[in-house]
């Protein structure tokens, strides 16, 4: 006979045959004397059950799938940008934006350079048009196509000879402007301020070599075009006209190829302090394999500059014609005419405004293309980061630069 009381859940209390939850408690069998066993009065209190909390259960599999962990950045960190461009290979938009940012950030120095150059160039051009360029010649309505071409070429030759001194002055002024702007843009890449005096001190030792490089490039282009046009001009007649057209297109294509191939020679000469020949070779090496890309960016830049120039020039031209009575009457009668001082002065003011804005954009694109090619080929971004004093970049014992 087992006199052990029956099992009950821990924490139940004796209460008329019920546990603490109101559920009847199982009873134990009577002992040999017929009396039921007594429950201990020292039972623990009834268990307290709390209802489920309102907390949201933790997310199971599939919830917020794909979200990155906190404080984790996916992909490469952004490139360092101490100045007007990020120190990495650049896109076309970033090159144009960097040139525009240089104009905005360093406008005092930049506009001082470009306005001075533009005033000198426009003054020389105005004087040449007034005193040196001959009046346009009348073309006979009965002239054959060959005669019309010959007369047009003679007129263009006379105008070019008359504008020669002006073009020479403009070329020299543009060369000085390009040299100074190259120094300014190289400092803008590092985010450093630069004054006109410091830019001049750094650019002055390289000016003669830059002038020689500019004249050599111009002579090369003129020689290529002349070689293309000369056979047609010597033959004359209808075959000569056709040959002039074909030779003209061919020579222009060859000249464009040379211009793009050596387009980075100027910043190479200024920033690497190399000679004229070495700068041409340096440009050819940097452009190799990227000719079409540099050609596309250069053409787009020149197209934007041309559109901006037209937007500025058209209103000034209309106002100049309106103020110049002789020129306006000549246009109405359809006869060749020479404009007077009012037209030349008003259009010259428009030319100064155009040149003051377009010079830094054109120079900026050239310098940034040079920097971009060196970043792509030679990891110049590490040297620029070290030169800018960015943290995490240090020079090794052999002079190389490593970046963190």
**Pairing between β-strand 401-403 and β-strand 393-395 as defined by DSSP bridges:** antiparallel
As a whole number of angstroms, the distance between CA 182 and CA 173 comes to: 14
As a whole number of angstroms, the distance between CA 239 and CA 243 comes to: 6
Please answer whether residues 166 and 366 qualify as being in contact, where contact means their C-beta atoms are separated by less than 8 angstroms. no
- Give residue 222's domain range: 92-387
Number of domains in the chain: 1
What does the pLDDT look like over 352-379, one tens digit per residue? 999 999 999 999 999 999 999 999 999 9
DSSP code of 212?
Answer: H
As a whole number of angstroms, the distance between CA 142 and CA 235 comes to: 22
Closest by CA to 366, choosing from 175, 208, 191, 163, is 175
| Low-confidence spans in the chain with pLDDT less than 50 | 1-23, 25-26, 28, 32, 36, 39-40, 72, 396-404
Q: What pLDDT is attached to residue 234?
A: 78
351 occurs within a structural domain: yes
Please answer whether residues 188 and 175 qualify as being in contact, where contact means their C-beta atoms are separated by less than 8 angstroms. no
How far is C-alpha 248 from the chain's CA centre? Answer: 33
150 occurs within a structural domain: yes
60 occurs within a structural domain: no
How far is C-alpha 165 from the chain's CA centre? Answer: 35
48 occurs within a structural domain: no
401 occurs within a structural domain: no
270 occurs within a structural domain: yes
Q: What pLDDT is attached to residue 241?
A: 77
Global confidence as pTM: 0.73
39 occurs within a structural domain: no
Q: What pLDDT is attached to residue 397?
A: 40
Q: What pLDDT is attached to residue 70?
A: 53
283 occurs within a structural domain: yes
As a whole number of angstroms, the distance between CA 374 and CA 339 comes to: 48
Q: Which residue has the tokens 């073009």?
A: 167
DSSP code of 24?
Answer: B
């Amino acid at each position: 006979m087992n006199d052990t009381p029956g099992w009950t859940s821990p924490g139940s209390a004796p209460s008329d045959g019920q546990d603490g939850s109101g559920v009847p408690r199982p009873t134990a069998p009577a002992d040999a004397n017929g009396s039921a066993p007594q429950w201990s009065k020292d039972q623990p209190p009834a268990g307290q059950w709390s209802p489920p909390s309102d907390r949201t259960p933790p997310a199971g599999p599939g919830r917020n799938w794909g979200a990155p962990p906190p404080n984790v950045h996916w992909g490469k960190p952004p490139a360092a940008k101490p100045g007007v461009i990020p120190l990495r290979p650049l896109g076309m938009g970033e090159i144009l934006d960097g040139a525009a940012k240089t104009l905005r950030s360093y406008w005092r120095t930049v506009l001082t350079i470009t306005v001075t150059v533009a005033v000198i160039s426009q003054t020389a051009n105005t004087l040449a048009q007034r005193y040196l360029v001959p009046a346009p010649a009348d073309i006979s309505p009965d002239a054959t196509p060959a005669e019309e071409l010959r007369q047009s070429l003679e007129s263009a030759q006379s105008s070019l000879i008359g504008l020669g001194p002006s073009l020479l002055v403009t070329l020299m002024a543009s060369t000085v402007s390009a040299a100074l702007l190259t120094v300014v843009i190289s400092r803008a890449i590092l985010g450093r301020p630069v004054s006109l005096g410091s830019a001049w001190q750094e650019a002055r030792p390289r000016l003669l070599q830059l002038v020689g490089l500019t004249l050599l490039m111009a002579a090369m282009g003129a020689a290529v075009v002349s070689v293309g046009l000369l056979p047609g001009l010597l033959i004359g007649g209808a075959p000569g006209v056709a040959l002039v057209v074909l030779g003209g297109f061919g020579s222009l294509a060859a000249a464009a190829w040379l211009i793009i191939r050596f387009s980075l020679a100027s910043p190479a000469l200024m920033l690497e302090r190399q000679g004229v020949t070495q700068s041409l070779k340096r440009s050819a090496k940097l452009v190799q394999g990227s000719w079409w890309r540099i050609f596309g960016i250069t053409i787009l830049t020149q197209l934007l500059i041309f559109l901006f120039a037209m937007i500025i020039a058209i209103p000034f031209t209309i106002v100049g014609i309106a103020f110049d009575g002789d020129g306006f009457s000549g246009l109405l009668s359809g006869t060749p005419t020479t404009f007077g001082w009012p037209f030349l002065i008003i259009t010259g003011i428009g030319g100064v405004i155009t040149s003051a804005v377009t010079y830094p954009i054109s120079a900026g694109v050239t310098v940034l293309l040079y920097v971009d090619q060196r970043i792509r080929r030679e990891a110049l971004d590490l040297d620029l980061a070290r030169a800018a004093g960015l943290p995490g970049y240090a020079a090794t014992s052999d002079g190389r630069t490593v970046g963190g």
